[in-house]
Structure 1
Amino acid sequence: MSYLTGEFECKLDAKGRMMIPAGLKKQLPEAESEGLVINRGLEKYLVIYTKTEWDKKLDELSKLNEYDRKAIQFVRYFTGGATHLQPDASGRVNLPKNLLDYAGISGDVVLTCLLNKVEVWDKKAHQEMINNEPENFADLAEEVMANKGRGRNE
C-alpha cells in the first residue's frame, strides 16, 4: 500500500453511515474487495485501516510477550472494538455506534490521512486539535526529525 494523503470532510447520516469520499476511495482500491477495519485511536478519534494494514498491526502485536501485563493490556485496548467495515454499493460504510460515542462523533466528520491509516475526527474536535498546533512547529520538527535515521526502519 502506498501512503495515503488528504483531508476530507464528510457527514454521517441518521444511521451512522458515511460516504467514503471519491478522493480517498481512489487511494483504497482494496477496500471494496477486502473491506476496512475501524477502531479507537490513541486519543478521542477513530482510525480506519485497510484489512492488509490491520493484519500487519496484528502481526506486530502477536510478537509481544503474552505474559507481560502491560503488553496484554495494550493489546486488549488496541484491538478491543475493532470492527470490519464493508462499503455498500453506494460506497458508504456504517460506523459502529459504540465507536462513534467513544470519539464524540455525531454528525460532521473530518477524515485525515496519516501515512497508512485514516483518522476519523469529530469536526469540532479536529478543529480544536488543529488550533492547538505547537507554538513553534519548527522546534517540534527539529526535535522529532533530527533522529529520523534512528527510527523504526533500522
Structure 2
Amino acid sequence: MNWAAFTSAEPDLAKAVEERFGAFTHHVLATLRKDGSPRTTGLEVRFLHGELWLGMMPDSLKARDLHRDPRFCLQANPGEGQSMGGGDVRISGHAREVTDSGTKAAYGEEVKPPEPFHLFRTELTEVVRTSVEDEKYLVLQVWKPGQPLRTIKRT
C-alpha cells in the first residue's frame, strides 16, 4: 500500500506523521545488512504525489541493502531535547527502486538531488505513532494495511 492509500485510510494519522517528518530534514533509516544484522543511517525523505520516496547516493550501503532485501524501517528525527513533541513516528515497509527514467527525471526536477542517485518508492506495512496524552498516558497508534487503526493507552 502506498502513501496515498494510507492517507485515504487514516487521514488524521497520516497528517500527524507527515508533520512529524516535516519538522526536520534528516531521519533514521534501518535496513538489513548482508549478514541480517541491522544498519541505521541518516536519510532525507519526501512525501510527493501520493508516495513516500527515499533518495540515496549511488552505490551507498543502504541502497545495496535495499537491493538485496527491500525491508526497511524509517524513524522520524526526535529533535534535540524534544519531549516527543508531535509524537515518536516510525514507518515500516518495502522499498522498490524506481528504474523508470521519466519518474526519476520528474522527481529530480522537483527535489534537485545530487546526480546520480537511487530512488526508491515505498510500500507500507506498518505505521506507528507513540505520544503522551494528558501527561499521564502513553498512546500508541498502530496501523497495518487491511486492518483498522489500533489505539493502545498505557499509564
TM-score normalized by the length of structure 2: 0.29
Which entry has the higher C-alpha Rg, 1 or 2?
Answer: 1
Q: Which has the higher strand share?
A: 2
Greater relative CO, 1 or 2 (CA 8 Å, sep 6+): 1
TM-score normalized by the length of structure 1: 0.29
